[in-house]
Amino acid sequence: MASAFGHVAVAYALGKTIQPPSLRTKRFWWLTAACCVLPDADVIGLFLGIPYEHVLGHRGLTHSLLFAGIIGILLPRMAVPDLVFGSRTYGMLVLFFFGVTMSHGILDAMTDGGLGIAFFAPFDSARYFFPWRPITVSPIGISSFFSTWGLGVLWSELLWIGIPVGLWLGALRVNAWIKWTNKHGNRPE
């Protein structure tokens, strides 16, 4: 995996994109944070003796498009309880939670270690990486994270996740500012 910091940073940037801001309740943010790290619940399998390369192993089924799709369908009503099923907002949130869950596997596929991601599980058990893998893979377990390896992970994530996320958040701010000036005809103090 990329580290939990990397996954959460991307989920935060995606979450900030959701409009209107009133949708972004505490509940929304908790679920957003949960689904961006949820795929790594599969590390439990490593402790239960399920081999890494198994479809239920690490970076297997829980990192797949199908899994993200199921999460995408289940979460909108949990995030916004009075959401009308089939409404435009519902559809947007399905895509959003699918995207946040999938962002996990996408980041993992850009890491330089471990096995690839079973994007098409359970239909195809092949593991995939992207051709470009600049992110240093994060160790499994807390103790090995507090090491020079962990520092290397944070550095590579600052560069390859932190900067794009910062730029994206900056762009959202500029966009909000432009909208504000268009509406009010002058600039906020």
Binding of Zn ion by 108 (CB under 5 A)? yes
Shortest distance in whole angstroms from residue 60 CB to Zn ion: 10
Distance between CA atoms of 34 and 37, rounded to whole angstroms?
A: 6
Structure tokens at 2: 């990329």
Q: Is 67 exposed, middle or buried (0-12, 13-18, 19+ CB in 10 A)?
A: buried
Q: Which amino acid is at 47?
A: F
Q: Which is nearer to Zn ion, 40 or 157 (CB)?
A: 40
- Residues of this chain, 12-31, that bind Zn ion according to CB under 5 A: none
Q: How far are the Cα atoms of 12, 47, 161 from residue 111, in angstroms, in the given order? A: 20, 22, 12
CB of 41 or CB of 81, closer to Zn ion: 41
- 18, 23, 28, 33 alpha-carbon torsion, rounded to 10°: 20
Nearer residue to Zn ion within complex by CB, 80 or 110: 110
Query: Of 40-48, 75-83, 91-99, 121-129, which part binds Zn ion (CB under 5 A)?
Result: 40-48
Q: Which of 13, 15, 40, 153 binds Zn ion (CB under 5 A)?
A: 40
Stretch that binds Zn ion, among 37-45, 78-86, 156-164, 171-179 (CB under 5 A): 37-45
Which residues in this chain contact Zn ion in the complex, by CB under 5 A?
A: 1, 39-40, 108
